[in-house]
Chain A
Amino acid sequence: MKFKTHWYLILPLTFGFVAALLLNYTALPNPVLYLRADLGTFLFLIGAGASCLGWITASFVQRLKFFEKEIEEKSVRDRRKFLSLLDHELKNPLTAIMAGLANLNDGTQQETLHSVEAQVQRLSRLVADLRKLSDLETRPIEMNGVNLPVLLEEVFVLAQSRAGEDRVLNLAIPKAPWPLPEIQGDRDLLFLAVHNVIDNAIKYTKPGDTIELRANEEGSQVRIEIADTGPGIPASETSQVWGELFRGEAARGIPGSGLGLALVQAIIRRHGGQTSLRSQLDKGTVITLTLPTHGVTEL
């Protein structure tokens, strides 16, 4: 593609240059031309020339943008492919290790065995999360009417039981003048998305912090926000938190696979929505999930 664009520019230029050389330095006739035009025609030609130039520039810029987008999409695809290969390659050794461990169960070193088993469990969870991520790209999504208020309340109750007494959890769902509209989607996946975000909030906040789950309707969209008064995310990390296997500075020592938010983003995107994040260090974080109320037109 790029190759061709070059030739459009180079060929006429080369032709002109070669012709000029021939006419100037050989015995070929090289008459002086007087081109005359009235001002009107002249201005028209200038305008047409400028248009041509503008058109060439615009199409060039557009092509450049297209390539950039292509490269970005390809890198996302490559990464996903890599992750699904990784998931695949991890499965067989894990299966063998689990079978091997089951054989060892009558040994004396129970403590060592338990700790190895725990690590195997952890690896299995990572593999399961990797699988979810690649599965999400390909599996058809069930599109049914989802009652958001009920779903959010369920997530909230689950979060309350996980967080215990020492964090303040608030739920704000509008009931007046009308409740949140029904949205089209896969209930289990949407549940997982909201759950993952609020679970993160619980993990990274300390006793005494506040976590809020709120939602509102905005035109043809529903915004779900999960806000916390936790440690916040450094500006250098905010753009990376949605990436696969990314774990921030603060995540050290906190269990997790680094796939939680990547999954959230994949789920919301498949529902035709968007994710965003605002955060201030030492003040807190708010994650916003925006979903269209009338579902996705194209899957």
Chain B
Amino acid sequence: MDQPAAHKILLVDDEEAITENLSAFLKRSGFQVVIAANGQQALAAIGDESPDIVIMDVLMPEMDGRQALRQLRREENWIPVILLTQIGESTERAMALEEGADDYLNKPFNPHELVARIKAVLRRAKQGQPPLSAAWILTSGKLTLDRRSKKASLDGDPINLTPKAFSLLEYLMTHPGEVVSRERLLDTVWGWDYPIGTRAVDTRIAELRSALGDNASQPIFIETLPVLGYQFIHDVWVGK
């Protein structure tokens, strides 16, 4: 494992069983790992160790992951953060993205999925720049997404989206260029698995496409990748 620059991960969780097992796995996957047990320690470690990415639990004693993340972003520190959400509550998931986390995973998760997330986030992150997920307004060509008021518009004309379709678009737009599997979309946008699973996602994507006037065979925004899932292919930038 002596790649020249193994990425350094700061793993923050108060459960030793998790940090121990997970750090062993992450090291085997080729990362350097530093551990902290709460938000306070995490903030200190970010200063001392300058990790490349932070994997942080939400519920922790002393200072929880949410507070730590908020403090980081308030200080305009845009280090990539993946939150490990505790409860399946949709509010917590929504919060994770709104507070400027780059991504989040529901516990319990497959550690391979975590590694995939880490790699995707590291690929996407631009040094010292706020992630798209920390922005209230996102623009992609004619499409504008106002995440605070939950409104989308195309060429200035507001488009009607159901809350779920909006969340779906929001997730895809904050992860442009990334292949997102249907399972992943279910887990993040719906919060739980459905028997219909993939079909529920497909239905919503179709709804989104027709609202965006996007053609599935020649997409401007959302491309279908057979078997793999979906990808937001247009460039996305912060603000109008």
- A residues apposed to B, CB below 8 Å: 84, 87-88, 91-100, 102-103, 124, 127-128, 131-132, 134-135, 138-139, 142, 144, 154, 158, 188, 191-192, 195-196, 199
Contacts and interface: CB of A to CB of B under 8 A. Distances in A.
A192 B195 CA distance: 7
5 contacts: A88-B86, A96-B15, A99-B21, A99-B111, A102-B110
Contacts of A124: 108
Nearest to A120: B108
Given A103-B25, A135-B88, A92 B192 contact: no
Ranked nearest first, the 4 interchain pairs of A and B with the lowest CB-CB distance are A131-B88, A99-B21, A96-B17, A94-B108
Given A131-B192, A195-B196, A92 B18 contact: yes
Interface in B1-44: 15, 17-18, 20-22, 24-25, 28
Contacts of B89: 135, 138-139
A144 B25 contact: no
B196 A188 contact: yes
Contacts of A139: 89-90, 191
Contacts of B109: 95, 98
A94 B109 CA distance: 9
Given A127-B108, A139-B90, A100 B21 contact: yes
A191 B199 CA distance: 11
Interface of B: 15, 17-18, 20-22, 24-25, 28, 84, 86-90, 107-112, 162-164, 190-196, 199-200
Contacts, number: 93
A136 B190 CA distance: 12
Contacts of A154: 196, 199
A157 to B, nearest CB: 10
A113 to B, nearest CB: 14
A195 B195 contact: yes
Given A131-B192, A154-B196, A158-B196, 4 more contacts: A91-B107, A134-B88, A188-B194, A191-B200
B195 A95 contact: no
A92 B109 CA distance: 10
B112 A102 contact: yes
A158 B195 contact: yes
A126 to B, nearest CB: 11
B110 A98 contact: yes
